[in-house]
Amino acid sequence: MLSGKTILIGITGGIAAYKICDLIRMFKRSSANVRVVCTPNALNFVTRLTLQSLSGNEVAVEQFEVNEFKPEHISCADEADIMVIAPCSANTFSKIANGCCDNLLTSIVCAFNKPVIIAPAMNCNMWENPIIQENFARLSGFEILEPESGFLACGTRGQGRLCKIEKIYDKTVEILANSRKLAGKKIVITSGGTIENIDPVRFLSNHSSGKTGTALAQNAAAQGAEVVLITTADAPGGGIKTVKVQSALDMQAAVEKESGTADCIIMSAAVADYRPKEVSAQKLKKADDNELSVKLVKNPDILQELCKNKREGQIIVGFCAESENLIENAKAKIQHKGCDYLIANDISRSDIGFGSDENEVYIIDKNLNIKKLDKAPKTVIAAKILEEVL
């Protein structure tokens, strides 16, 4: 099933390391080529000889070994189709989240631009530690298989146990099976709320978190597309090319640069319709007057411009945030903007949309056909949107 695929398994220092021996056997039985990279601490739990015998390949540990004039971390990253880090200790988890490259394993992950599965395992108090949870949030570009609850090797009960190795195996197979569906396609995605400066201190913006755009980018990249994410939010990592922008004008310039060669453009960003006419170079001082007016000028409509200059075969998708008359406004908007699809969501509901991890949307096509996607995590909604429009 995995013939022709190379799976790079990263093992860190945790008691669950012994379970990875079985995982290697499962991959080998499915005809995958398995490479193993260990942190030095992992070898306290499982021997190099065992991993070498099971994988049939040398086990990489040392950072500065040079293989045929290529540093080991680059050759490992080049060769593999997917990387699976299991068990991932709290230490390595945090290092990956912060871009540290202090050993071979962390250097490989940092250079790896293909799918990465991370299966953390640690004491339950460590997992619940807010710093670890913050790092978890930062690793949104990776496929994280959360630890399971149960009896832990340290004698306590709680969430921290490595998830079942069958789950890691199934996720690997699923990702590899999907990994070529969008190969050869370039997809440009915008996300986040634009920031329109008033002076060096203040700005106008909105509540868009960029989560849907990130989920779209991750899903498209996992299906083999060349993805460019143009965003005001944090870069998701995981090898996704990200262009950080701030204002609507910055976003427009970045979109113009990338859109000519794009097969699909998805404008999920909440672009400010207006910006301050003048941006003060100095901080505006409080005056005696009780009122202050800031003159605003209209921003270009990036989506509408894209639709006017659309290339043959290009698919353009807009988003539509409405607080009332959702369908009626969305239908008028798709006709006005001229895009192929419009994803409409109701921002008046606090359980979905802005800031939430879930959404419920309607996909409207240019013939005004409507399809509802029921309330689900934004990652699921993103997958369904891509399936529908591509």
Contact call for residue 267 and ligand CTP (CB under 6 A): yes
Nearer to ligand CTP, 11 or 302 (CB): 302
Q: How far is the CB of 305 from ligand CTP (least distance, A)?
A: 8
Contact call for residue 77 and ligand CTP (CB under 6 A): no
Chain positions 193 to 232 lying near ligand CTP, rule: CB under 6 A, are none
- Residue from the set 7, 82, 245, 269 that interacts with ligand CTP by CB under 6 A: 269
Q: How far is the CB of 251 from ligand CTP (least distance, A)?
A: 8
Nearer to ligand CTP, 320 or 361 (CB): 320
Backbone angles phi, psi at 88, to 5 degrees: -105, 115
- Residue from the set 14, 87, 239, 318 that interacts with ligand CTP by CB under 6 A: 318
Contact call for residue 381 and ligand CTP (CB under 6 A): no
- Scanning 102-110, 131-139, 319-327, 363-371 for contacts with ligand CTP by CB under 6 A, the matching segment is 319-327
Contact call for residue 258 and ligand CTP (CB under 6 A): no
Contact call for residue 347 and ligand CTP (CB under 6 A): no
- Residue from the set 46, 145, 320, 361 that interacts with ligand CTP by CB under 6 A: 320
- Residue from the set 271, 316, 326, 382 that interacts with ligand CTP by CB under 6 A: 271
Find the catalytic residue in 88, 154, 163, 339.
154
Contact call for residue 262 and ligand CTP (CB under 6 A): no
Contact call for residue 188 and ligand CTP (CB under 6 A): no
Q: How far is the CB of 72 from ligand CTP (least distance, A)?
A: 43
154 in catalytic set = yes
The rounded distance, in Å, linking the Cα atoms of 232 and 372 is: 28
Contact call for residue 248 and ligand CTP (CB under 6 A): yes
Contact call for residue 361 and ligand CTP (CB under 6 A): no
User: Judged by CB under 6 A, how many residues of this single chain contact ligand CTP?
Assistant: 14
Chain positions 274 to 303 lying near ligand CTP, rule: CB under 6 A, are 299, 301-303
Structure tokens at 118: 């991370």
Contact call for residue 105 and ligand CTP (CB under 6 A): no
Contact call for residue 61 and ligand CTP (CB under 6 A): no
Contact call for residue 112 and ligand CTP (CB under 6 A): no
The rounded distance, in Å, linking the Cα atoms of 129 and 183 is: 39
For the chain, the three-class secondary structure string (H helix, E strand, C coil) is: CCCCCEEEEEECCCHHHHHHHHHHHHHHHCCCEEEEEECHHHHHCCCHHHHHHHHCCCEECCCCCEECCEEHHHHHHHHCCEEEEEEECHHHHHHHHCCCCCCHHHHHHHHCCCCEEEEECCCHHHHHCHHHHHHHHHCCCCEECCCEEEECCCCCEEEEECCCHHHHHHHHHHHHHHCCCCCCCEEEEEECECCEECCCCCEECCCCCCHHHHHHHHHHHHCCCEEEEEECCCCCCCCCEEEECCCHHHHHHHHHHHHCCCCEEEECCECCCEEECCCCCCCCCCCCCCCCCCCEEECCCHHHHHHHCCCCCCEEEEEEEECCCHHHHHHHHHHHHCCCEEEEEECCCCCCCCCCCEEEEEEEECCCCEEEEEEEEHHHHHHHHHHHHC
Contact call for residue 87 and ligand CTP (CB under 6 A): no
- Chain residues binding ligand CTP by CB under 6 A are 248, 267, 269-271, 273, 299, 301-303, 318-321
Would you please indicate which residues are annotated as catalytic (active-site) residues? 154
